[in-house]
Structure 1
Amino acid sequence: MPQDPLVVFTPSGKRGRFPAGTPVLTAARQLGVDLDSVCGGRGICSKCQISPGYGSFSKHGVTVHEGALSEWNSVEARYDAKRGLKPGRRLGCQAQIRGDVVIDVPAESQVHKQVVRKAASSRVIAMDPATKLYFVEVDAPDMHEPTGDLERLARALRREWSIDAIRADLTLLAKLQPTLRKGKFQVTVALHRAGADDPAQVLEIWPGLHEDGLYGLAIDLGSTTIAAHLTDLVTGEVKASAGIMNPQIRFGEDLMSRVSYAMMNPGGDKEMTAAVRDAINTLAQDIAGEAGIDARLIVETVFVCNPVMHHLLLGIDPVELGQAPFALATSNSLTLNARELDLSAINARAQVYILPCIAGHVGADCAGVALSEEPGKSEDLVLVVDVGTNAEILLGDRTRVLACSSPTGPAFEGAQISSGQRAAPGAIEAIRIDPDTKEPRFRVIGCETWSDEEGFFDEVGAGGITGICGSGIIEAVAELRIAGLLDDSGLLGSAEATGTDRMQAEGRTHAYLIHDGTDDGGPRVTVTQGDIRAIQLAKSALYAGARLLMDERGVDKVDRVVLAGAFGAHISPLHAMVLGMIPDVPIDKVTSAGNAAGTGARIALCNVAARREIERVVGEITKVETAIEPRFQEHFVAANAIPHKTDPFPELARVVSLPHPHFNTGGDGGAEGGRRRRRRA
């Protein structure tokens, strides 16, 4: 008997089989997918918009054919005619499942909006941007000295500002004459200078004195999220920060899945390029609106991104990055025009600078971290870890800097976790488990009160507890280990072995119950054995990458660790150490750098000399390719234990004493470990 069609929702990763004819909205509700609808599925509100994906999705084990959803119907056609639907969008209440399908729920269709935790960190930056404003008085035209308006503008800039040469494109020339005359030959121009010897590009011109400001975007284009900082190019002030999910998630949660999609689906790379450029335009419009500025005043954009995102942003097929020797189309920095990248939401003549890539798997985002954290200027040996779907790792001091990337996968982002979700209001983000009672207390995004404190459920509100995000699952696994509910091999014990009925049987394994909201129509939030394995794989890859760099330097210890990225600011050093995500160091030597890649982008946006500096630094970094290093697997296997199979972690032992239960998969759930645990209690 044929199976019902399989539906996979992204970015949540939730999946299930449903009879043909089931509306997508119905399937989403049954799976607990965050898909909005306020009209009861009548096709009126348009809140339930979805984007189906077609082709081969190796990561999900699904091939989606045309006809996977029912045909466009009259309700959708009517709505599209009145209000418009983006190309490829469907209404979830109208589209019915006909075959296996992958469905992306865009950010605007989610009830609980994504919290992109990549806010701009405070940083003193010497302001010397590539694009600046210049007010000039231009000579009026004279019949006795026939010269063009552009030439007289150039003469005024040379006379008043020592600008040797300028150039302008046709769109600027078209508005030059009316602007000069409206300003009575007094104008303000925005000039972009890529290098000291290059002619200055006239990006914009205004009549008279322009006082509405000049802005740039620093964009961290990540595998999972896209974060942007709208920055004043005169003062360096961050006027607004915003982020959205990377819509490419529907083509694959990790980088190699997207490369695979491009390989297996002709034109797949172009689909992903169009999707990410559209998202960047949406983000630019949103962030300008939030700051209350005209998006046409955004005249420069700086990008940091990993190599696959780099190629897909540029419209380059990433297939070569999926196989040795992992060749980049170019590793140099790039200066482009916004029109070349279809960035239509900002000034038409805006300039784009992309930081250099370090190697085939170590991208411009790692260069941004290097620019921000400057490991090459450190007196002590520092390990900088930018934790994400693809982790970038730097190790260095004044003598030498090394870099690698490590494929941690999306588990740290809350994906591939049974109760996992992206960071959004209602998601558990922090948790503590009492070692004696085994009872949890937790905090959710959007609520400062802990679950065992008075007024918690009132503060959480009607949205309730919705799941657990990346920082929450990391803390949960570490807390299970501290509480003796998880042994060092990563096995969860049974209720009998651990002495708590929060350990619940799931087939031959067990799960820890954090919260049961089923009585109120909410979810059961658990940590399953599968969740533990996903976190083990992610943290082992991260640790193994760091150890490879340490091997290259010939050291067994580092002096300090800097955690960068969203997780750096939201995971305690203690939990990171208990998991064995990072090498053992004193806890007070583990610090957070916030979104260091985004900070690097801001530095490059605000200081043109910093661009030359990072181009020089990248050329001196030693690249280590984890994919071909024979010791990577050895380190990976040893790091599967929590915190580690062979490293004793003496610094961790100074601050926490980890119990040593031993659970097994037999029928008693590891009673021996449980008995030893009770005697210690």
Structure 2
Amino acid sequence: MNGYDLFEITFEPLGQRGSAPTGQSLLETARQSSVGLISLCGGLGKCGRCRIQISKGKASTVTPVERNLLSREELDLEYRLACQTYPLSDLIVQVPLESLSASQRVQIEGIRMEVQPEPLVQTYEVRLSPPSLSDLRSDDTRLLEQLKQRHQVDCVCIANEVLPELSTKLRSLDWHISAAVRGSELISIKSWPSRQLGLAVDLGTTKVAGYLVDLETGRSLKANGVMNPQIAHGEDVITRIDLARRNGADARLMRKMAVEAINELIADLVSQVDASPEDISEAVVVGNTAMHHLFLGLPVDQLARAPHVPGVGHAVELKAREAGLSASPGGYVHLPPNIAGFVGSDHVAMIQGTGVFKAGGTALALDIGTNTEICLVHEGKMTCVSCASGPAFEGAHIACGMRAADGAIEHMRFVEQSLQYFTIGNQEPVGICGSGILDAIAQLYLAGIVDKGGRILKDHPNVRSRGRVREFVIVEAGECCRESDIILTQKDVREVQLAKAAIRTGIKMLLEKNGLSEYDIDQVIVAGAFGSYLDLESAMVIGMFPRLPLDRFRQVGNAAGTGAKMSLISRTKRAEAQRIAHLIRYIELAGEPNFKEIFLEATA
């Protein structure tokens, strides 16, 4: 140990260096050193994805968790889990490619909806006469009276955030300004003419999508997406909620991460249109109840315990600066209402964005993810459920799983007893993403290599056994960017069985509650990033979706983002979102007496 009681940790082949005090894990050191190690479980020693190799130096002894998740061969080669390993000297650590988080394909586009702009923020040109000995009115009175006289605007107050700069700006702009008014409050003053921009955000568990909109015309200007940095603290909402419950510092950090991700999007989007963050006078943020509560810094303990009740269900409005967002000093951020359980405003936005609530006949709308929300619309009535489908469709808990990044196998087909694969970006394969896993299991089932119960059978040259567990070799090590073969294991098949069973159970119970069968479904709307890229035929083959004609399905992209934009552009649509949330009936699946029976049936 050196004189500062710190060990130097070098992460190769990245060349990144960091310092670790006694008692700090290599995972935490990697985070502080901007090394993007995958940690789907938030460092709890459950996922086994933060695998590293000790090249030089001394580390803590191997833990029982590592003996369970790593093979004997890996341990002999000094492979460790970063979350379980603590330095006892300076270390040189090798980071395998598959342990690094890659830049993921983020679905930001959704349905195009024509919405008549009805912005909550109105902009007015104001010319003022400067004060004189014969006109001693204060600056604020002068401005408010001119708004009333010239534009018949009953503006009764000026935002506290604007007051410190009011007098200076009026004079520097020579008394000719652009005044932005929201309701009866003046929220910004700028030079005339000026633009009023809005920001819509879909704050997802895995990804954050942002949309920059011209509030006056309703036109979408730019869109972009980033990974939710909270992933470093857990792949799913349950892990993050548990962390937030145990440690207030972690809760504050996750809030900070969400805010910084949105601010990163703001900086990128405004730079593309030669604007400033201060041009954003209104924002709308949608997300599930966990993301909503973490973003607002609300308690999440009640979400973790049955019956999983949100602390706040109604719509929330606060100043954007108060939320930590880079925006106009007096601008607002609006969070539409949540529904119940983990079903939040993103589901309301998805329903509004697809227009499914106005559908005739019977329609299903699904937003597939770590937590899948499903809404059944029948005879004008809406019923919804939330399914804990888990992160398998994000590539988590899968032996060679990864997110949808370059090099991920996204589709597979069996051709003459050979499994052909297609990767994102036409790169050498690194692993398998969710749509690829779905295809692999469907294709192996159709080829007779996986039976109806999900067992991998022996009679194929690519099938091998590791102990008692069978696995199918998709790509050999020499043909991919990994140190080992890309495989599909029996455990992987079970993970997907559980995920698809959760979704199928949700569908079946919604139908039962409404006295319907699968054959009564007129249309199925599939939303979200995974839903945009999955093969519908594969989803039906493995039993995740009912066997229906393909022309009854619609894959619509990020419909939640579309709904968020609608609430941003139009006060009428914002009120409509309130009505949708109020009209939806929520069913807690775990509270249904036949839930376990239906779920077990759906695993086959």
Same fold (TM over 0.5): yes
Residue from 442, 451, 470 that aligns with 2:421? 442
- Runs (4+) of structure 1 moved beyond 6 Å? none
Q: Deviations over 1:344-382 (max 9, x none)?
A: x33333210001001122111111112112333111110
Displacement of 1:612: 1.0
Contact residue 485 and residue 493 of structure 1 kept, 8 A:
yes
Q: Identical aligned pairs, as a percentage?
A: 32
Report what 2:528 is aligned to.
Answer: 565
Checking the alignment, whether the CA contact within 8 Å between 2:528 and 2:556 is kept in structure 1 is yes
For the structure 1 residues 146 and 368, does the alpha-carbon distance in structure 2 shift closer, same or farther, using more than 3 Å as the test?
same
For the Cα contact (< 8 Å) 1:427–1:469, is it kept in 2?
yes
Q: Is the 8 A contact 1:492 1:509 kept in 2?
A: no
Shift of 1:290: 4.3
Question: Hey, what's the Cα distance between the residues in 1 that align with 2:528 and 2:131?
Answer: 55
| Alignment equivalent of 1:417, drawn from 382, 385, 398 | 398
CA drift at 1:97:
4.6
Equivalent in 293, 298, 306 of residue 316 of structure 1:
298
- Amino acid aligned to 2:342: H
1:515 pairs with one of 451, 475, 480:
475
Work out the CA distance in 1 between the residues paired with 2:534 and 2:293.
31
- Report SS of the residue matched to 2:603: coil
Closer/same/farther in 2, CA of residues 156 and 483 from structure 1, 3 Å limit: farther
> How far apart, in 2, do the equivalents of 1:96 and 1:636 lie?
34
Change (3 A) 1:441 1:540: same
Indicate the residue corresponding to 1:585 in structure 2.
Answer: 548
Q: Does 1:375 align with 2:363?
A: no
**SS of 2:161 mapped into structure 1:** helix
How far apart in 2 are the matches of 1:285 and 1:294? 8
| Paired position in structure 1 for 2:187 | 203
Change (3 A) 1:125 1:175: same
Check conservation: 2:525, 2:555, Cα contact below 8 A.
yes
Q: Shift in Å at residue 95 of structure 1?
A: 12
1:446 partner SS: helix
What amino acid is aligned across from residue 204 of structure 1 in structure 2? Answer: S
Distance 1:293 1:516, change over 3 A: farther
Paired letter, 1:50 = V
Aligned partner of 1:393 among 336, 359, 374:
374
Contact 2:203-2:285 at 8 Å conserved across structures: yes
Match of 2:505 in 1: 544
Instruction: Work out whether residues 566 and 594 of structure 1, in 8 Å CA contact, stay in contact via their aligned partners in 2.
Output: yes
- The answer (yes or no) to whether the contact 1:376–1:397 under 8 Å persists in 2 is no
Output the CA distance in 2 between the equivalents of 1:616 and 1:188.
34
8 Å CA contact retained: 1:180, 1:207: no
- Of 613-622 and 141-150, the range deviating more from structure 2: 141-150
What CA distance in whole angstroms lies between the structure 1 residues aligned with 2:157 and 2:436? Answer: 53
Deviates more, 1:238-247 or 1:383-392: 238-247
The answer to whether structure 1 residue 250 and structure 2 residue 250 are counterparts is no
Name the SS for the 1:371 alignment partner: helix
Decide which moves more: 401-410 or 515-524: 515-524
Gaps of 5+ in 2: 1-6, 19-30, 51-56, 58-81
Which residue number in structure 2 is paired with residue 88 of structure 1? none
3-state SS of paired residue (2:193): coil
**Paired residue secondary structure (2:511):** helix
Q: Distance in 2 between matches of 1:359 and 1:423?
A: 30
Query: Over residues 182-209 of structure 1, what are the superposed CA-to-partner deviations in whole Å (9 max), with x where a residue is unaligned?
Result: 333221122223xxxxx2x323211332
Residues 547-556 or 290-299, more deviating: 290-299
In 2, Cα distance between equivalents of 1:164 and 1:227: 36
Q: Indicate if the aligned counterparts of 1:561 and 1:585 stay in contact, CA closer than 8 A.
A: no
Q: Equivalent residue for 1:481?
A: 445
Q: CA deviation at 1:23?
A: 4.5
Residue equivalent to 1:554: 515
Does the Cα contact within 8 Å between 2:429 and 2:481 map onto a contact in 1? no
Q: Structure 2 CA distance, aligned partners of 1:386 and 1:569? A: 10
Instruction: State the 1:155 CA deviation.
Output: 2.5
Shift in Å, 1:475:
1.8
Aligned twin of 2:308: 326
TM-score scaled to structure 2, two decimals?
0.83
Question: C-alpha root-mean-square deviation of aligned residues, in Å?
Answer: 3.1
Aligned AA (2:298) = I
The DSSP-based 3-state class of the residue aligned with 1:555 is: coil
Instruction: Report how far residue 571 of structure 1 moved.
Output: 1.4
Structure 1 counterpart of 2:576, one-letter code:
E
- TM-score norm. by structure 1 comes to 0.74
Secondary structure class of the residue paired with 1:402: strand
CA distance in structure 2 between the aligned counterparts of 1:592 and 1:577, rounded to whole angstroms: 14
Distance 1:358 1:226 in 2: 21
Would you say the 8 A contact 1:22–1:96 is kept in 2?
Answer: no
3-state secondary structure, aligned to 1:604: helix
Q: Aligned in 2, Cα 1:47/1:446: closer, same or farther, shift over 3 Å?
A: farther
Q: Structure 1 unaligned runs (5+)?
A: 1-20, 30-36, 65-69, 71-93, 194-198, 448-459, 642-681
- Tell me by how many angstroms 1:607 deviates: 0.9
Aligned twin of 2:174: 184
CA distance in 2, matches of 1:292, 1:509: 57
